[in-house]
Structure 1
Amino acid sequence: MRVTSEYVLELSNVFHSGQVESGSFLQKVTGNLQTGVILKDVTMEVHGGEVMAILGSKGSGKKVLLDVISRRAQGPTRGQICLNGVPMSMRLFQESCAFVTNKCDLLGSLTVAQTLNYATQLTIGKKVSGFIKKSRVKQVMADLALLHVANRPVGQLSDSEYKRLAIGIQLVRDPVVILLDEPTVDLDPLHTYLIVSILSNHARKYNRIVVMTMEKPRSDIFPFLDRVTYLCLGDVVYSGSTRLMLDYFRSIGFACPEMENPLMYYLCLSTVDRRSRERFIESSSQIAALVERFRTDGAPFRRLVSVGLDTEPVDVQHRVPLTAYGSPGTFQTLTSLTRRHFQTTMSLNRHGFKHFASRLLLLPCYFLLLWVFYFGQTDYQQSFTTRSGLIFNALAGVSFLSIATVAWTYPCFRTRYYQESREGHYSGPLFQMAYLLYSLPLSLISVFSSTAIIFWGLQLAKSGLNTRQLLKYEEEGIAGEILVWARYSLILWSVYVFMEQQTVALLMVIRDSFTAATISVYLTVIYLLLGTSVMRAITGLPDWLYYLSFIIQSRYASAYLHEWQFKDKFEGLQSYTSAFKLRNCSSTNTSPSIGCRYTNGTHFLIERYHIKHPPYADDLNMEMNFGVSLAFTGIICVLNLILHTVPLPSFIKCKFRE
C-alpha cells in the first residue's frame, strides 16, 4: 500500500456466507456445518481521522463484518474491500492494520511498560531505532492514560486499564486502520467515555481510521463518532455521517424524540422485536423497508466526509506510519520471544513467582523429600528393592512434576501464540523454538540441582563398591564424581523434557490444561509400568509387550540407572536374620528364610532384565541406553517443531484465541 496523507477504507457490495450454528464436534471435523448468508450487500466507507461505530443487536453480523475486513472470516466472501484503492488481503491487513479482539489474554507477570516494549520488538522492524521505539511506548501510554500504571503488573490492572493496554499493544505499531470488537463491553459509563474519547483523539491526531463495534452505545459518546453503521441480520439499515443521521431518519418519517439517546433509539429501530409473532412480523417488515430505502437514497450519506463538522479544527500529524518500515526479522523475533518468556518467570510479583516456583523450586523440594525418606536405609538386602524404588520414584517424580509445571505455566504462552500468530507476527516453529530456548536451561538447572540432593546426600556413587572399586573411585577425584553425577542428571533431564514436550503437544489441541495433563499422566503411568522394570520385571513381560517397550523412553532411562546402580556392585553382602544375627550372603547361601535373596547387584539385575539370554538381546548397555534416552528427547522436540507447522482446523485455533 502506498503511503499517503489520506486514508480511505471502502466496502462495496460485500456478501458473506458462513457458519450460523455451533455444530457438534463431528460436524466441525467433517466440515458438515449449517451455513447461511450473514452479510448482505454491505457498502460503507470511512476516512482517515474518523471513528466509525458498527451498531447492532446480537447476531446482527457486527463481529463477522470485522472478520471480513481483516480477512479472518471463514467462508466465501463477495464484493470489494479496499484500503486506498488497494484490495484488502491478509498480508496487507497484517502489515498496515490491527485488530483488537473482545478477549485478549496477556501475560500477567509482565508490567504495562514491559508488555508494550515487547510488542514493539515483535511488530516494528530494525529500521526503526530503539530510541524511537521507546518514545513510541511512552507516547502510547500517555495517549491511553497508562503512565501512572507503567510499572504495575498486568495481572493487577483494572478492567479499564486492561482494555486500554490491549488497545495499546496494537496502537504501538501505529496501524493505519484499527478494528476493535466491543472495546467498552462490561465497563462503567466513565471508562466507556474515556476509551471512546481516547480512540477519537488518536484518529484525529494521527489521521488514522478507527472502526469499532458496540452493542449498547451511550449518548455521551455521540460527539466522538464521525460515522455509524447500523446492521440488522446482515443488512445495512444506515451507514454514514453520525451528524446527518438525524436528518436522514427524520426525512423518512422516523424522527428521534427529544431527550432520547439517538444512538440507542435507532438501534432499537434496527432490531427485530421477538416478543411475539405479530411484533416479529411487523418489525421485520419495517426493517426490510428501511434497508431498501437506504439502498436507494443512502449513497450521499455514505460518501460524505464528516470530520470537522461542528467541531474545532485539530492539528493532524500526517506522519508515515511505523508499519511502513517493515517487520522485525526472524532473529529479532526469536530473541524477543525468548526474553519475554524469561521475563515472565523472573518477574518479582505474584504471577511471576508462580512460574519461578514451578520451574525452579518444585522439583528440588520433591527430591529433598526423597532424601529424607531414603536416608539411613542401609541394610543391603533391603537396599536392592529400596534403591530400585528410589530410581522409580525419581523417574516418576520428574515425569509427573514436569507435566504439572507445563499444565500450570504453558497455557498463557500458548494463548499469546495463537493470538499473535493470527496477526502475522511469527510462526508456530519460531514460537516453539523460543519456548525451547527458554524451558531447556531452566529445566536443566532444576533437574541438576535436584539430583545433587540425593546423589551426594545418599552417597549413591559410593554405595555398593568393593575396596578395589572405592580406591579407583577415589583416584578419579571430584572431577570423576561430577562426571558421574552429570550423566545421572542428564538421564533424568531427558525424561523431564520428554514429558514436557509430550504435554505441550497435547495442549496444542486441548484447551483445558487439566484434561491435557490428565491424559499425559495416564500415558506416563503406562510408560512407568512397562518400561522401568520396577513394578513388573522386563523378563516377565509377554513378547509383544517386551518389544512394545522399545518405543518407551523410560525403559532406556531406567535400564541405565539400574545398571549404573547395581551391576558388579554389592559383592560379599551381609543380611540380618530374624534372630538379628549377621549372615554372609553367597551364591550357595541365598535362602529367603535366612534373609539372603541376592548375592550381589548383578544377581538382582538378572531377575529384572535379559542379560545375554537368547532370543532376547542384552537389555543392559549403558552407553546405548544413555544415547537412546537423549535421542527420544531430541526426536520429540523436533516432532513438536514439525507439529507447529501443520495447519490446525479453525475451530481448534479459535478455542485459544477467543
Structure 2
Amino acid sequence: MALMKSPGALTSSEIEKKVQSVIEDMGLRHVADSRIGGTIVRGVSGGEKRRITIGVQLLRDPEILLLDEPTSGLDSFTARQLVSTLASVAHNGDRLVLMSVHQPRSDIVNMLDRIGILTSGQLAYLGPPSEMVPYFTSIGHPCPVNENPCDFYMNITSVDRRNADRERLTLRKAQNLCNAFSKSRLQEGMIGTITSGLNYHYDDEEDLRHSQQQLQSPSWFRIFNCLLERMNVHLWRDRANLVGRLTQLPIFVPFLILYIGRLGYSMGSIQDRMGLIYQSTQAPPYIGLTNALAIFPALRELYYRESQDGLYSTAMFLAVYLVHILPFNILSSTFFAAFLYW
C-alpha cells in the first residue's frame, strides 16, 4: 500500500522511513506486525482500524486531511484517543485536519483549534472553542450550567421537522443565528484569513519542485507488482482456500469414475465417452466460477475503495487478477486432465 500511495520519485528506503514515521505518529507501534482482521479472523480493535485507515491516507503526506465522523461507533475513551492523535498529527505535521463530529464530548471539543456549527448549509459559528460560549452569550443565548456547550448550541441551531409549526419556528431561529454570525468580528477575521491565503504564491523553486514531486504518481510496474504481491500474500495466509483452489477440480474426477467407471472400447461405451466429454467441459468453468465467487468479492471491495483514491485503474486491477489466478487454473486443470486421462 505504501508503495502505491507514495510519490514515484521516492526510493524504497525513503518510503520505509515514511511508513515508520506514520506508525509512530498514529500510535500503532504495538500492532505494526499484526493482521487487521475481518469478520472471520480477529485482528486489531475498532479504534486501531480507524487509525490505520487515517495512517494510510497520511502516506501521501497531504496538506489537508478530511474526515467524516471518525469517532462514530467508538467508545468515549477510544474516540478521545483518536482525536488526540489527530491533534498531534495536525500540529506536528503542519497540516490542516478537518472533521465532522456529532455529539462531541467537552474534552474532545477542547482539543480542537477551531469549531464550526453548520445549520442548513450556513455557518452559525466558527472560531476557537474557548470563544463559543462568550459569543453566543453576547447574542442572547447563554449556555446553562452543567451542560455541554457544544451539545446545547447544536440543539438550538438544529431544525425540528416533526411538524410545520416547529420547522418554521426553528428555521427562523437558526437563520437569525446565521445572520448574527455573518455580522460578527469572527466572520470578519475568517474572511481576512481566507483572503491572505489566496494571495500566497511560491517564491522558492525548491518548494515548487517538492510540490511537483508530491504529485508524481508511481510507475505502473510498481503498482502492478504491489497488487500482485498483496493478492498472493492474502491467498497464502488463507491455506484452506489455497488447497481448495488446487484440489477442487481434481477431486471431481473420482466422482466421474465412480459414476461412469472404466471406459471400454465397445460400441456401447460411446455414450459413456460422450457423457464424460460433456462433464469434462462443464466442470472446470463451474468450479472456476465458484472459486471466483469466494475470492473476488473481497478483492473487489478493496478495488472500490482504492480506485476512488486514484491509485490504479480498472484495467490494471483486472490484469493483475488474471495473472494472479492463471497459475492456479493451469495447475488445477493439469491435475484434472491427468487424472481424467488415467
Shift of 1:202: 0.5
Q: Which residue of 50, 57, 60 corresponds with 1:163?
A: 50
1: CA distance between counterparts of 2:189 and 2:128? Answer: 6
2: CA distance between counterparts of 1:269 and 1:453? Answer: 75
1: CA distance between counterparts of 2:36 and 2:268? Answer: 54
2: CA distance between counterparts of 1:368 and 1:167? Answer: 51
C-alpha RMSD of the superposition:
2.4
2: CA distance between counterparts of 1:246 and 1:400? Answer: 66
Shift of 1:123: 1.6
Question: In 2 relative to 1, CA 395–259 (structure 1 residues): closer, same or farther, beyond 3 Å?
Answer: same
1:422 aligns with 2:308: yes
1:367 aligns with 2:253: yes
Alignment map for 1:529-608 (pairs within 5 Å): none
Secondary structure of the structure 2 residue equivalent to 1:230: strand
Structure 2 length normalisation: TM-score? 0.85
- Asked if the contact 1:240/1:301 (under 8 Å) is kept, the reply is no
Question: In 2 relative to 1, CA 368–137 (structure 1 residues): closer, same or farther, beyond 3 Å?
Answer: farther
2: CA distance between counterparts of 1:435 and 1:139? Answer: 31
Shift of 1:131: 1.7
Question: In 2 relative to 1, CA 400–192 (structure 1 residues): closer, same or farther, beyond 3 Å?
Answer: same
- Asked if the contact 1:363/1:446 (under 8 Å) is kept, the reply is yes
Question: What stretches of structure 1 of length at least 5 have no aligned partner?
Answer: 1-118, 306-318, 457-658
2: CA distance between counterparts of 1:215 and 1:377? Answer: 72
2: CA distance between counterparts of 1:296 and 1:354? Answer: 66
Question: In 2 relative to 1, CA 382–201 (structure 1 residues): closer, same or farther, beyond 3 Å?
Answer: farther
Q: Which has the higher mean CA deviation after the structures are superposed, 120-129 or 285-294?
A: 120-129
- Asked if the contact 1:128/1:325 (under 8 Å) is kept, the reply is no
Q: Tell me the equivalent position of 2:276.
A: 390
Q: Tell me the equivalent position of 2:299.
A: 413
Alignment map for 1:12-411 (pairs within 5 Å): 119-155=1-37, 156=42, 157-297=44-184, 298-300=186-188, 302=190, 324=214, 326-347=216-237, 352-353=238-239, 355-378=241-264, 380-411=266-297
Question: What stretches of structure 2 of length at least 5 have no aligned partner?
Answer: 194-206
Q: What does the per-residue CA deviation read over 1:13-62, in whole Å, with 9 as the maximum and x for residues that have no partner?
A: xxxxxxxxxxxxxxxxxxxxxxxxxxxxxxxxxxxxxxxxxxxxxxxxxx
Residue 151 of structure 1 aligns with an amino acid whose one-letter code is D
- Asked if the contact 2:7/2:214 (under 8 Å) is kept, the reply is no
Residue 203 of structure 1 aligns with an amino acid whose one-letter code is A
Q: Tell me the equivalent position of 1:623.
A: none
Q: What does the per-residue CA deviation read over 1:241-284, in whole Å, with 9 as the maximum and x for residues that have no partner?
A: 22222222121111222221122111112211234443322211
Secondary structure of the structure 2 residue equivalent to 1:154: coil
1: CA distance between counterparts of 2:211 and 2:24? Answer: 18
Shift of 1:325: 6.5
Question: In 2 relative to 1, CA 455–379 (structure 1 residues): closer, same or farther, beyond 3 Å?
Answer: closer
Residue 430 of structure 1 aligns with an amino acid whose one-letter code is M
- Asked if the contact 1:175/1:321 (under 8 Å) is kept, the reply is no
Q: Tell me the equivalent position of 1:605.
A: none
Residue 159 of structure 1 aligns with an amino acid whose one-letter code is G
Secondary structure of the structure 2 residue equivalent to 1:211: strand
Shift of 1:440: 1.5
1:448 aligns with 2:334: yes
Percent sequence identity over aligned pairs: 30
- Asked if the contact 2:9/2:213 (under 8 Å) is kept, the reply is no
| Between structures 1 and 2, the one with greater helix share | 2
Question: In 2 relative to 1, CA 414–378 (structure 1 residues): closer, same or farther, beyond 3 Å?
Answer: same
2: CA distance between counterparts of 1:335 and 1:417? Answer: 15
2: CA distance between counterparts of 1:359 and 1:236? Answer: 57
Shift of 1:323: 6.6
| Between structures 1 and 2, the one with greater strand share | 1
Tell me the number of residue pairs that the alignment of Structure 1 and Structure 2 aligns: 321
Question: In 2 relative to 1, CA 262–413 (structure 1 residues): closer, same or farther, beyond 3 Å?
Answer: same
1: CA distance between counterparts of 2:22 and 2:256? Answer: 52
Shift of 1:361: 3.1
Residue 219 of structure 2 aligns with an amino acid whose one-letter code is G
- Asked if the contact 1:240/1:304 (under 8 Å) is kept, the reply is no
Shift of 1:288: 0.9
Shift of 1:198: 0.7
2: CA distance between counterparts of 1:129 and 1:406? Answer: 35
Secondary structure of the structure 1 residue equivalent to 2:33: coil
Secondary structure of the structure 1 residue equivalent to 2:130: coil
Q: Which has the larger radius of gyration?
A: 1
Q: Which has the higher mean CA deviation after the structures are superposed, 205-214 or 272-281?
A: 272-281
Residue 121 of structure 2 aligns with an amino acid whose one-letter code is G
Question: In 2 relative to 1, CA 304–425 (structure 1 residues): closer, same or farther, beyond 3 Å?
Answer: same
Higher relative CO (Cα under 8 Å, sequence separation at least 6) belongs to 2
Q: Which has the higher mean CA deviation after the structures are superposed, 386-395 or 360-369?
A: 360-369
1:432 aligns with 2:318: yes
Shift of 1:303: 5.5
2: CA distance between counterparts of 1:241 and 1:375? Answer: 82
- Asked if the contact 2:86/2:97 (under 8 Å) is kept, the reply is yes
2: CA distance between counterparts of 1:163 and 1:361? Answer: 38
Shift of 1:321: 8.0
